[in-house]
Structure 1
């Protein structure tokens, strides 16, 4: 793409896009550094609530300055469209790293898991107890800690990202009662019940990440969203030994305490969780650190790492003034990327010296990989990224040479075979001699144009943000209820199982729940992407 001017930044390449925002690799005029620019999609800029959430992320995270948290440099606005200038983290999230290891029959060592989770806990403790300029606690709670929201950089850093739904004292877009925010399978029990939260909710989420990195499978994984919610509410945590990978007793004790159902039974602070993990590491023959994580990440994503380094070189090789001139002339960044031959040898993760103490010895076959994206409320940002990542994986594992691209680049990668549109049918010699009427050719051209236009419209609609929400109706465990939405029956809740009402148009709705012939009516206001919980009684 050609450089695009955005205030004091130049957008050089779009690296991901979702239903609500898009992310660019960019250059800043200040100190001429590479940054990431997060920009709201035009269709979402009309949603005042989402714009407030976006601005809150900038205000909250913009005050945080910790090596374990990806920084936000600036919350800005150009032509009425807000944007965030973020620290550019060159690496992959923990979910991608975990699944890549599983694909190769490998798993994290206990030392490396302890190091990663200790880094997460220390960064969270800083955010939890951060004070503003007047000395008042900001009371920041991330509320969405998960493997997808923790980056492992190629330099061996562990960084928390995405404070988009974080809770803080100064937040302007408040969460309304009954609205669940976050990913179901990484919620704390109190979060899944819609109860007030404190920093110990994040400690529970770190416990989930710790358990999943060790076992290599989802901890709370029901057949549907609400079976998952019930599992989270119960907080029944199986021992890793029941999943085929017994944990060291000290590490399992840390998991169990972090994952305690009652907040008062967990670690009092995230720093206490970090201290327990550091103590565990000191008992190991060879504690792991950032150098080990860098070695593992670069080995697991060797080809992607090389492409990423090349992309960063492309970003830096021209001065900011030269890039501005390209933007002014509407010209694209001159390509210098090389063609990568894809039949080169695969990166081996079993190198005995470089990765000693980083990977666990081979054991029983690991469970299936974690899904690329669990149910997420209010954000489908990863969907397109996963599709492209899958395409990259397919190409990188075999096939003809392709143009080098950075890891996570959004533009679709095509082979020479892919670029040739549709395959042509064989044309017989005698058929070539027949001439068609020019009117037939015109009709065919119009038909093709119409189909292409219709296909483009449908494609754009399929990629648009989901303009719907979801209602969850929960009743006491032994009750049976019939649910009416705006006067129309929408189903029954039996044996205490919540009723899911999907694809509800945002706006104000009247929900009536009939239990034993007795109606209970409530008005709800649903917004795009929300899951609104209507509960007649709290679960025990």
Structure 2
């Protein structure tokens, strides 16, 4: 049954402004997502049409236009392009680069699934390119030459794409903070993936480029340790851990990690911003120094070989789809079967983020509250903290008073297909206190019944 929140769209290719929308990939929280072709110049892209109901929201429109003023200035090989943000035929839309590749999270999972490990040289090459993209964004200026003071704020392996050619592209600045934005995120909303979030951001303090340095450090820690970090769990507990993190060196989880690598990663992960690298350029310089010493021969071509090995079938399928898309008749092979959700380009969910909504003055304390207890009385008529689907700093998936279960249930299928991806099958969930108690109760009960059965068995065997 169709989701009542998802509008009906024409079948087959149709024109929309300067684009030919070849097929609807699905629908995210803020609108329909299409595989598309721009006609001049002819190139593949992803077009997202904003839902009509959001066109009536002045706050959303203001933030949309804020974002357009920022992303138009970002043109760098390590940042996925946003070609246009505007209005066509009475609808707001975003046109984004089609990045032919997979997210870093997908790559890491696929390699773990096959029992492979990512070599230090490849990790360092990925880290260097990641820092180059961040450094460019941090130093970006507007058309008048004024600095944007841009901070990504949601850097994670799911927002880093590796193309089949070995190019790294940061694929979403939709949660970014910038001086060009007139309408910043509401204080009650914490945007981003808590697993990779800097402590100051989790504590609702001022963030600058060093917050992205921290997130890059988490990404590097996960790759060097080859230890997948939890992506799910009780929101308040995950929020508290983000605000007050504790890290061990990567070498504790993976033998052979050089002490120099530990030192660089742990410096990037310093809780206090002043103790980290001052910017992504400085972190990138240290990674380049390490690579020159440990793996000077590694290049983007080596990253490409890793991608080809991991996703040979997917690449062949995408090559066929793109050949049809850019041909004379884009309808021939662009069927539902030709582009399953698992082949959707990573930019399909750009500008949509996970988030937490909590009372404006609430920040988690360093000590966790007792399991099952609220940190403070909840405001009348709503829970203490809830998860939400956020776009441009606003909850676009619901009405603002639903519980976590309802938020999960109403996530569009495309979101579930791409976000609840392979890595979630591998990554352990964070247990809540209640879950842990239940697990231990069942374990103790099982041991007790087993002991009873063994005792009865011994008595039966020894009976005359």
TM normalised by structure 2 equals: 0.73
Are the counterparts in 2 of residues 305 and 407 from structure 1 also a CA contact under 8 Å? no
Is 1:485 aligned with 2:379?
A: yes
Q: Is the 8 A contact 2:151 2:176 kept in 1?
A: yes
Q: Aligned pair 1:306/2:316, yes or no?
A: yes
1:67-94 CA-to-partner distances (Å, cap 9, x unmatched) read: 1011112122123311112121101000
Which residue of 141, 144, 160 maps to 1:131? 141
1:311/1:257 CA distance change after superposition, 3 Å:
same
Aligned-residue offset at 1:174 = 1.0
Shift of the alpha carbon at 1:192?
0.2
1:187 aligns with 2:197: yes
Match of residue 86 from structure 1: 96
Other-structure match for 1:171: 181
* Secondary structure class of the residue paired with 1:408: helix
**Aligned mates of 2:66, 2:382 — CA distance in 1:** 38
Match for residue 66 of structure 2 among 46, 56, 71: 56
SS at match of 1:485: coil
Q: Would you say 1:259 and 2:269 are equivalent positions?
A: yes
Distance 1:215 1:475 in 2: 28
SS in 2 for 1:22: strand
- Residue in 1 aligned with 2:297? 287
2:115 corresponds to: 105
Match of 1:38 among 25, 42, 48: 48
Q: Answer yes or no: is the 8 Å Cα contact 2:224–2:254 preserved in 1.
A: no
Question: Is the Cα contact below 8 Å between 2:211 and 2:273 reproduced in 1?
Answer: yes
Q: CA deviation at 1:407?
A: 7.0
Report whether the alignment pairs 1:334 with 2:332: yes
Residue 345 of structure 1 is matched in structure 2 by: none
Q: What is the rounded CA distance, in whole Å, between the counterparts of 1:8 and 1:25 in structure 2?
A: 14
From the superposition, tell whether residues 489 and 168 of structure 1 become closer, same or farther in structure 2 (CA, over 3 Å).
Answer: closer
**What is the CA–CA distance in structure 1 between the aligned matches of 2:394 and 2:82, rounded to whole Å?**
30
1:502 to 364, 367, 386: 386
Cα distance in structure 1, aligned partners of 2:119 and 2:211: 26
Question: CA shift at 1:502, angstroms?
Answer: 3.5
**Aligned 8 A contact 1:470 1:501 in 2:** yes
Distance 1:15 1:215, change over 3 A: farther
Q: Which has the higher helix share?
A: 2
Q: Deviations over 1:92-117 (max 9, x none)?
A: 00011110101101111111111111
Distance verdict in 2 for CA 1:120–1:37, change over 3 Å: same
> Is the 1:15–1:408 Cα contact (8 Å) retained in structure 2?
no
Query: Is 1:10 paired with 2:20?
Result: yes
Q: CA deviation at 1:290?
A: 1.2
Q: CA RMSD in A?
A: 3.3
CA distance in 2, matches of 1:217, 1:224: 20
TM-score of the superposition, structure 1-length normalised? 0.63
Alignment of 1:508-523 (within 5 A): none
1:146 equivalent in structure 2: 156
The answer on whether the counterparts of 1:257 and 1:266 sit within 8 Å (CA) in structure 2 is yes
In the alignment, what sits opposite 1:516? none
Secondary structure of 2:129's partner?
helix
Match of 1:408 among 316, 339, 342: 342
In structure 2, what is the Cα distance between the partners aligned to 1:195 and 1:300? 40
User: Which position in structure 1 is the counterpart of 2:129?
Assistant: 119
The alpha carbon displacement at 1:133 in A equals 2.4
Looking at both structures, which has the greater relative contact order when contacts are Cα pairs under 8 Å and sequence separation is at least 6? 2
Change over 3 Å in CA distance of 1:301–1:137 after alignment to 2:
same
CA distance in 1 between partners of 2:67 and 2:217 (Å): 24
**Alignment match, 1:444:** none
Change (3 A) 1:476 1:215: closer
Equivalence map 1:56-75=2 (5 Å): 56-75=66-85
SS of match in other structure, 1:292: helix
Answer whether contact 2:30 2:397 (CA < 8 A) is retained.
no
The match for 1:385 is none
Q: Kindly name which structure, 1 or 2, has the bigger radius of gyration based on alpha carbons.
A: 1
Q: Distance in 2 between matches of 1:304 and 1:64?
A: 29
Q: Any stretches of 5+ residues in structure 2 without a counterpart?
A: 1-10, 345-351, 402-464
Which residue in the other structure is 2:462 paired with?
none
The residue aligned with 1:364 is none
How does 1:205-244 map onto structure 2 within 5 Å? 205-219=215-229, 223-244=233-254
TM-fit CA distance, 1:38 = 2.2
SS of equivalent to 1:159: strand
| Aligned residue in 2 for 1:278 | 288
- Whether the aligned pair in 2 keeps the contact of 1:9 and 1:28 (CA below 8 Å) is yes
Please name the residue that 1:423 is paired with: none
How far apart are residue 484 of structure 1 and its match? 4.2
**Residue 124 (structure 1) shift:** 0.6
The answer on whether the counterparts of 2:226 and 2:253 sit within 8 Å (CA) in structure 1 is no
CA contact (8 A) 2:201 2:211 kept: yes
Q: Distance in 2 between matches of 1:186 and 1:129?
A: 22
Secondary structure of the residue aligned to 1:163 is coil
Q: What's the offset of the Cα at 1:269?
A: 1.4
- The separation in 1 between residues aligned to 2:75 and 2:141, in whole angstroms, is 12
* Separation in 1, partners of 2:139, 2:334: 46
Q: Deviations over 1:454-509 (max 9, x none)?
A: xxxxxxxxxxx99x9743645766899651423x696xxxxxxxxx44389x9xxx
Name stretches of at least 5 consecutive residues in structure 1 with no aligned partner.
Answer: 324-332, 338-401, 411-464, 491-499, 507-524, 533-540
Q: How many residues align?
A: 374
Match of 2:405 in 1: none
Structure 2: distance between partners of 1:336 and 1:469: 37
For 1:217 and 1:239, the matched residues in 2 are separated by: 12
1:181, distance to aligned residue in structure 2 (A): 1.2
